[in-house]
Each structure stands twice: as C-alpha cells, then as structure tokens.
Amino acid sequence: MPVTDPVLTKRIPTWPWGDPKDRHIVTYDEFTKTGGYQALEKALDMTPAEVVDVVKDSQLRGRGGAGFPCGLKWTFLPEVDGGRRYLAVNCDEAEPGTFKDRLLIDFDPHIILEGIAITCYACHLDTAYFFIRGEYRHQARVVENAITEAYDKGIFGKQGLMCGKSKYAVECYLHRSAGAYICGEETGLLEAIEGKRAWPRIKPPFPAVKGLFGRPTIVNNVETLAAVGPILTNGVQWWTKMGCESSIGAPPSYGPKLMGVSGHVTTPGVFECDLGIPLSKLVNDFAGGMRGGKKFKGAIAGGVSMGILGPDQFDAEMDFDIGRKYDVLGLGTACPTIFDEDTDMVAVARNIARFFKNESCGQCTPCREGTQWIYMLLCRIEKGYATSKDLDLLLEISGSMGIMPGTTICGLADGNNWAVRTIVNKYRDEFEARIRPSSVPVGMTVGAS
C-alpha cells in the first residue's frame, strides 16, 4: 500500500526503482503480520544471559565496518549496579560509497527496533539512542514514525517491554548527527549525543565500561541489530548455514550481508548476499556487470577507508578475511565501489585524500597536518609537478600516522593511509608516469584549494 503520511510523501525524492508513490515503508501492523516482534517475545521467555549466549554462538560479527563479534562485545559490560546503561545505535552512515543502512531504514525500520529491544533486554540497558546521519532527513522521519508506533503498541515505555510482559522498561530516542564524518566513530558518536563536539575519546576506558554520560554503553550498527531478531527466531544453525568459514584460521563470516554496489556497473544498488561471495559474482550476477562492457580495473572493497582491490583481485571473496588476504584494511561496510579501465587512479587517490583532509576533526596533530600534506602531494603528482622524492614522501607520511603506528586517537588517519597506500602500491606505474625528472620550479603551486 502507498505511503499515506503527507510529510513522508513530500520528503520522498525520485528513486531509480520506481514511482515514489509506490514506495512502501513497513508499518508496525504489517511487520507483526509477517512474524515481527515474535523474536522479542521469545527473548522475554529466556533469561538475558541465554539471549547473549545465542548471539555469541551465532558468531554474528558487526556489520558497521569493524566486524567485531557482537555477542562478545555484549559480555564486556560490567555487572548491573542500579545506574543507567545505554545502547547507542550507530546509523551515522557517512562512509563514502556506503548506503546499505539507508535502504534498511527506508523499507523496514521495525526490524531494527526489535533488535534494539532485544539487545536492551539481554544487556540490561534501559535507554537507547538511535543516532542517525544528519543528512538522512527523510529516514529520520521514518524512524520517528516507527518509534512512535513502537511506543503506542507497548514495545517501549515505562510499562515494560511488550506491554508489560517484561517489567524491564526501555526508552528509545532518535538523535540526529551533527553532519560530520567523525560522528560515526563510536566515541565521537557518544560525544555528539552528549551535545559536545564529536571528538573521539582516548581508549581505554572503552564505552562498555565508561561510555555515554560516563555509564556502561554498547554501540552497535543498525544492520547488526537487525540480524539479532532473525537469529533468535530461526536459530543459530539457520544462521551459520549462510556465509562461509575462514580460509586463514580466523573467526568465520557467517550470515548474509547487505552489499551496496556503486561505480562503473550497469545496475548499482543494495543486494543481500551470503558473506564470501566473490566480488566478480556480485558485480556480474547482481549489479549487471561492468558498465558498457568495459574491463574491471579495481574496487574499493567496503568504503573508501578500506583501501583498494587491484585489477588481479576481481575474484576476491567478500568476507572478513579480505583484509589479510588481499592487502586492504578489511571488509568494512561491504559496499564496493567499482572502477573500470578508463579510471584515473591518481585522481581517485587525490579525491579520497581531499575527503579525509576535510573530515579530520583536527584533534591529533599527525592526522590534522598529515591529511593536508597527503592531499597537497597528490595534487602535485596529479598535475605533473612532483618528483620521485614527493612520491616517497607521500608513502612515508601515509605510513607514519594512525592508530597502528600509535600516533592518533581514532582510525580516520588509518583510513586515509590505507586508501592512499594501496592505490599507490597497486597502480604505481600511473603515479610514476606523472613524476617530473627534476625538482619543482620555484613559485610553483603545490596544491589546490
């Protein structure tokens, strides 16, 4: 049935998959008719510890980027002491090339709210903040309506979960992001909810011990929370039949994953696939193949901060082993951006560096200064002003800042480094072709504004 809320209808833009009037957002009643909130009801018949054990046994890994085991994260919480405990729901989807959470909210917001309710019950959390990207104005309205429905139906509220079936009461609030990329970093997100500038915090202490307002806090991505209900409903064996085992002795990559494919493909979009699907199959069978029949040149595996897959890595498996196997930072959001044979990889690196330069919060000197220098050096190389020393300096700077060298508080610098380093290393001939044999003349501009 069509959307009837006049505010929602006005806010829906033109979408590539059809008339906005045909766009449908699942309501509470429709969600429950297809089994919605039955997982919450099942969870309330279990002890909180039993719910945590089910999620641990499923080996559900975080869908927001890091891939950390969800159930294990829940066990980091200290014992209940009678004070407030929080769930921070991360929907600050600002990673370039990533738009999977947006589609999840667009069509099925209640599956996330059910996951929120189950997580709060399992972890003894009494307050949830749904932190959504500031630019997602339509999606924020969708979530607001869904939360209102959940309160009206007794899911949330002082009466207790499921109209008082459990005496454990949960409050849920929507909080809009300040619009900065760094708000998606978990501690920057907590600072933003508290009304402060979204500067990442030094860890430890970790959020599970001292998070929102100094109290124990779990931070989970919306896609991760959306998987909790189906796991409880269908069981661990159902979940582990999807996805794949690790081929390098690491934890497995079980379950399906939303993968948003963009770039030089025929039909970009969001597709739900088993983890472990080869990138080539994802492109050819789901995204319609390379646009215009051109050859594959490379792909950003899952958001620009993860680095790039080279021309010989088109068959890379989209699972959590991808980082160690293909020299990228990780799977990230599993939303690949595809490049064809005509792509200028020097321009790609420069554009990515521009993004990180603008989005650095400036708290850490190596990141604040280093991102600017990386961008200026890439501008020099792109314009043909650089020498071989500039290319060496670029790689030196990119390897000298970030969490892994131990020089910054958060991973923004690492994302910049991995993107630049992997592009330079896998397409070095393109960079060397722009290098001048002699030094830059005096007075030559070194960067662009």
Q: What is the mean pLDDT of residues 424-446?
A: 75
* Per-residue confidence band for 21, with pLDDT thresholds at 50, 70 and 90: very low
pLDDT digits (tens, 9 = 90+) for 36-71: 999 999 999 999 999 999 999 999 999 988 889 999
Instruction: Give dist(CA 446, CA 152) in Å, integer.
Output: 59
pLDDT at 163: 83
Average pLDDT in the 223-248 region? 94
- The residue count for the chain: 449
Is 255's pLDDT higher than 90? yes
> Residue 6's pLDDT is what?
37
pLDDT at 233 over 80: yes
Residue 167 confidence (pLDDT): 87
Per-residue pLDDT averaged across 273-298, rounded?
95
Percent of the chain with pLDDT over 90: 77
Q: Could you tell me the strand order of the sheet in which 296-300 lies?
A: 269-274, 256-263, 337-340, 296-300, 308-309
pLDDT score for 438: 60
Given a cut of 60, whether residue 13 has pLDDT beyond it is no
Model pLDDT, residue 439: 52
Copy the structure tokens of residue 446: 């070194």
Look at residue 23 in the predicted model and tell me its pLDDT.
57
Q: What is the pLDDT of residues 132-180, one digit of tens each?
A: 998 999 999 999 999 999 999 999 999 988 887 888 899 999 999 988 8
Q: How far apart are CA 163 and CA 156, in angstroms?
A: 8
* Confidence tier at 16 by pLDDT (50, 70, 90): very low
Please state whether 282 falls in left (phi above 0), alpha (psi between -120 and 50) or beta: alpha
Maximum Cα interatomic distance, the chain, rounded to a whole number of Å:
76
Strands 296-300 and 337-340: antiparallel
Q: What is the pLDDT of residues 106-137, one digit of tens each?
A: 999 999 999 999 999 999 999 999 999 989 99
Residue 384 CA to residue 382 CA, distance in Å, equals 6
- 427 pLDDT band, cuts 50/70/90, is very high
In this structure, are strands 171-176 and 127-132 parallel, antiparallel, or unpaired?
Answer: parallel
Instruction: List, in order of start, the domains of the chain with CATH numbers.
Output: 6-241 (3.40.50.11540), 252-338 (3.10.20.600), 345-432 (1.20.1440.230)
Confidence of residue 403 (pLDDT cuts 50, 70, 90): confident
3-state secondary structure the chain: CCCCCHHHHHHCCCECCECHHHCCCCCHHHHHHCCCCHHHHHHHCCCHHHHHHHHHHHCCECCCCCCCEHHHHHCCCCCCCCCCCEEEEEECCCCCCCCHHHHHHHHCHHHHHHHHHHHHHHHCCCEEEEEECCCCHHHHHHHHHHHHHHHHCCCCECCCHHHHCCCCCEEEEEEECCCCHHHHCHHHHHHHHCCCCCCCCCCCCCCCCCCHHHCCEEEEEHHHHHHHHHHHHHCHHHHHCCEECCCCCCCCEECEEEEEEEECECCCEEEEEECCCEHHHHHHHHCCCEHHHCCEEEEECCCHHHCEECCCCCCCECCCCHHHHHCCCCCCCCCCEEEECCCCHHHHHHHHHHHHHHHCCCCCHHHHHHHHHHHHHHHHHHHCCCCHHHHHHHHHHHCCCCCCCCCCCCCHHHHHHHHHHHHHHHCHHHHHCCCCCCCCCCCCCCCCC
